[in-house]
Amino acid sequence: MSEPAYGNFRKDELEFQYNPRVSVPEFPELAKVRSAKSRQVRESAKSWLNLAYGLSPRETLDIYAADKAGGPVLVYIHGGYWRSGTKEDNANFVPAFTRRGATVVLVEYDLCPQVTVTDIVRQTRAAIAWTFNNIVRYDGDRSQLYVSGHSAGGHLTAMALAHDWEKAGLPEAFIKGAVAMSGVHDLGMVMHISPNEQIRMTPEIARENSPLLYPPRVNCPLLVAVGAVEPEGWKQMSRDYFEFCQRHGLRAEYLEVPGANHYTMSEHLGDPNSPLAKAIFELIGI
């Protein structure tokens, strides 16, 4: 029997545990469905699209208007293992939130290998700051700003909580709550799997950007969610981050979403009757 190559898993188990494209082989079909729904939302919803928050062509965001002005703002950071994905393909869940009075902001960022994860962390923090400084122009209430993300976006959400926002010129407590869904919280793991051919994770980048090494500076309610049928290794990352945040004083909750795998989490997010959507509605007060 071979020895564990990482964590408690042998080398031949790592791809299944930590590469969702292996554990969910039907992901291309699921991605097509999500993309089609997202394009419909983008074409029909009241929105402001491709607003620049930085200088790169991909440093843009989309704002989807709430049905009622002046409500909370939910910033959402899409996943894709920092190497794929677009905001255009991840808007499928938006109507579930705008109909209940939340403005939704979808963030775009550059992708590996053209940039590093360190660059993407900087970009998404800049997008969050831009939203706080500008959302009133789009009928959102910046005093009710929440940050969320899935997969790589879950990691980027965690890194937003670890940021020194006062040093960046923003109020310490302007983020009122956060949702990290199926997050990549253990960056050291990435160096052991095939996606790293594009991600190009190094020990230095992992140390700079691993949420488990940086306690949250923002003291706000946190929901850590993961699909109940995701691999054990992936679920463990969410449990570890949840426990880490609890130890550092955050009011954190942990949710395993019944029946959800990595690529169906967004379907549950867009279903107003799902445990995931209901938990976020309660968190942001809609």
CATH of the domain at 234: 3.40.50.1820
pLDDT, residue 8, reads 84
Query: In this structure, is residue 232 part of a structural domain?
Result: yes
Enclosing domain of residue 24: 11-284
d(CA 177, CA 65): 20
Structural domains in the chain (count)? 1
Helix count and strand count (H, E) for the chain: 11, 8
Does 247 fall in a domain?
Answer: yes
97-135: pLDDT as tens digits: 999 999 999 999 999 999 999 999 999 999 999 999 999
The reported pTM is: 0.97
pLDDT value for 11 = 86
Q: Look at residue 6 and tell me if it is in a domain.
A: no
How far is it, in rounded angstroms, from Cα 86 to Cα 134? Answer: 22
pLDDT at 1: 35
Query: Domain for residue 23, yes or no?
Result: yes
- Residue 156 within any structural domain of the chain: yes
For residue 15, being part of any structural domain is answered with yes
Half-sphere exposure of 246 (CA within 13 A, CB side): 11
Residues in the chain with pLDDT < 70?
A: 1-6
Q: For residue 249, report the phi and psi dihedrals to the nearest 5 degrees.
A: 90, 5
Helix axes 152-161, 117-134, angle to 10 degrees: 60
Look at the chain and count its residues: 286
Q: How far is C-alpha 127 from the chain's CA centre? A: 13
Per-residue confidence (pLDDT) for residue 6, from 0 to 100 = 59
- Average pLDDT value over all residues in the chain: 96
